[in-house]
Structure 1
Amino acid sequence: MKPSALFRWLLLSMLIATTALLAGCQHDEPLPFRLTQVTGHMPDLDFQLVNDEGKPVTAADYRGKVVLLYFGYTHCPDVCPLTLAHLHVVMQRLGPLADGARILFVSVDPTRDTPAVMHAYVNAFDKHAVGLTGSPGNVEALVKRYRASFSREPAQGDGNYEVSHSSAIYIFDAQGHTRLLATPADSQDTLVHDLHLLLAPGVKS
């Protein structure tokens, strides 16, 4: 074999081997997350609240489910309904995998958001959503645990008031470990991609 032909043969062999190696890596290694990864920077899921059926619940009741935790309230005029509608579409796009996830909507307005009010509200958006409420102290402790914030605005003339609050979506894996941080501005494609990785590891979305 002439040197030039030998060189071309070696180059082709190396190219084939490299292509096969890359293909193997793409198949075996999980796809990277697109949302902000917060593992090790925020505590695991932990709370003691009341669900929208009036039953006391803790984080342990949601072990085995990927949890999307969001702080809001039912009288919210904009970001809360928009976020829940956004997450509803994400759940629909996940298909059967969505049964392995729960949206936990924690009220920062427990005075008005009774379990019955929460139940009607969250079920109007998605069957995978659960409304959680509790004492002001328990709610405030959970908000602080995840470095979120809220503040009640002065009441209007009719007695109604608004509550300003942060809008992050905290995502925990099925073991209750904090994994990702999302915002309502993150696209449905991004959320579907990353939730798919948590719900079906190793399977491309």
Structure 2
Amino acid sequence: MMRYILVGILALMVLAVGLLSFEWYRGQNQAVAFGAPFELVDDSGQPITEKAFQGRPTALFFGFTHCPDVCPTTLFEMEGWLDELGEEGEDLQAFFITVDPERDTPEVMKTYLGNFSDRVTGITGDPEKVAAMAKAFRIYSRKVELEDGDYTMDHTASVMLLDRNGDFFGTISYEENAETAVAKLRRLINEG
């Protein structure tokens, strides 16, 4: 009988050590930095920094104004999500960050975004600073030369969600179901 009690106690101790190890490991992975300080300009030519992503729930989309399909589709969907949220989404802010700052000046971005929404703010600036920001947010982008001498940009097509502290909250995939996207935004808005 005593032997079974000792085996039971030993099993509980092993389980407790395993759970503590798992929690420690999970905490270590959550400590990975996401984003970094930056100094760029918005689509009105005004300075903007990472502080703009704090204090309110935020949706970020990295793209470019010469994009033939992914960017206009995502911006159109984003406006639909904002409309669906209505007053509930008034605190949610949205940004479109260019991965093509050589062509996407503040004026170009302002005009382009005006075709989709008055609630999405464009961000652009020095190409090296834009590239550093994209890298800090783990965004893939690459210039692709075309046969006619022009170029396009390959880039991550997901919308990044940040909580009120500016920390990573989740993503909305390209062409994700609208109901699912709105549900994710509701969770983001209602978080803290």
TM-score by length of 1: 0.73
Residue 88 of structure 1 pairs with residue 66 of structure 2: no
For 2:103 and 2:137, the matched residues in 1 are separated by: 23
For 1:106 and 1:151, the matched residues in 2 are separated by: 15
Report what 2:15 is aligned to: none
Cα shift at 1:177:
1.5
For 1:98 and 1:124, the matched residues in 2 are separated by: 20
Report what 1:14 is aligned to: none
**1:109-148 alignment runs, 5 A limit:** 109-148=100-139
Cα shift at 1:61:
2.6
Q: How many residues get paired? A: 164
Is the 2:61–2:160 Cα contact (8 Å) retained in structure 1?
yes
Q: Which runs of 5+ in 2 are unaligned?
A: 1-28
- 169, 172, 177: which is aligned to 2:159? 169
Report what 2:88 is aligned to: 97
Is the 2:160–2:168 Cα contact (8 Å) retained in structure 1?
yes
Q: Which amino acid aligns with 2:77?
A: H
Residues 46 and 183 (structure 1), Cα distance of their counterparts in 2 relative to 1, 3 Å cut = farther
Q: Which runs of 5+ in 1 are unaligned?
A: 1-37
Report what 1:153 is aligned to: 144
Is the 1:99–1:128 Cα contact (8 Å) retained in structure 2?
no
**Which has more radius of gyration?**
1
**Shift >6 Å, 4+ stretches:** none
Structure with bigger RCO (C-alpha 8 Å, 6+ apart)? 1
Residue 197 of structure 1 pairs with residue 187 of structure 2: yes
Partner of 1:111: helix, strand, or coil? coil
Q: Deviations over 1:105-150 (max 9, x none)?
A: 1111111111001011112211210110011111111111122211
Partner of 2:34: helix, strand, or coil? coil
Q: Deviations over 1:165-184 (max 9, x none)?
A: 11121100122121112211
Cα shift at 1:42:
5.2
For 2:117 and 2:48, the matched residues in 1 are separated by: 20
TM-score by length of 2: 0.78
**1:29-44 alignment runs, 5 A limit:** 40-41=31-32, 43-44=34-35
Cα shift at 1:156:
4.1
Is the 2:56–2:91 Cα contact (8 Å) retained in structure 1?
yes
Partner of 1:132: helix, strand, or coil? strand
Cα shift at 1:74:
0.2
Residues 125 and 195 (structure 1), Cα distance of their counterparts in 2 relative to 1, 3 Å cut = same
